[in-house]
Amino acid sequence: MAKVQYVTSLDQVADLAPAERDQLRSVGERFVFRSNTYYLSLIDWSDPEDPIRRIIIPDRHEVEPWG
């Protein structure tokens, strides 16, 4: 059985578009990000509304006072 590999930075998420990574930089500076490669592999990266993506990848509005 393969060892679980954790991803602890949005910069390590290879399938995240560079523009989206830049938008999320402020979220990553404020909140800890942690996932594993298995859950990231389940994301349909062509669908921005993919339910697993919405659970794992933070939203840029999370740093807003109302977010």
Residues 41-67: tens digit of each pLDDT: 999 999 999 999 999 999 988 888 875
* pLDDT over threshold 70, residue 1: no
pLDDT at 64: 86
Residue 13, judged by CB atoms within 10 A of its CB (0-12, 13-18, 19+), counts as: buried
pLDDT at 33: 95
* pLDDT over threshold 80, residue 2: no
Mean pLDDT computed over every residue of the chain: 92
Q: Name the pLDDT band for 3 (thresholds 50, 70, 90).
A: confident
**Which residues in 32-67 are b (16+ Cβ under 10 Å) and which e?**
ebebeeeebeebeeeeeeeeebeebbbeeeeeeeee
**In contact, 60 and 24? CB cutoff 8 Å:** yes
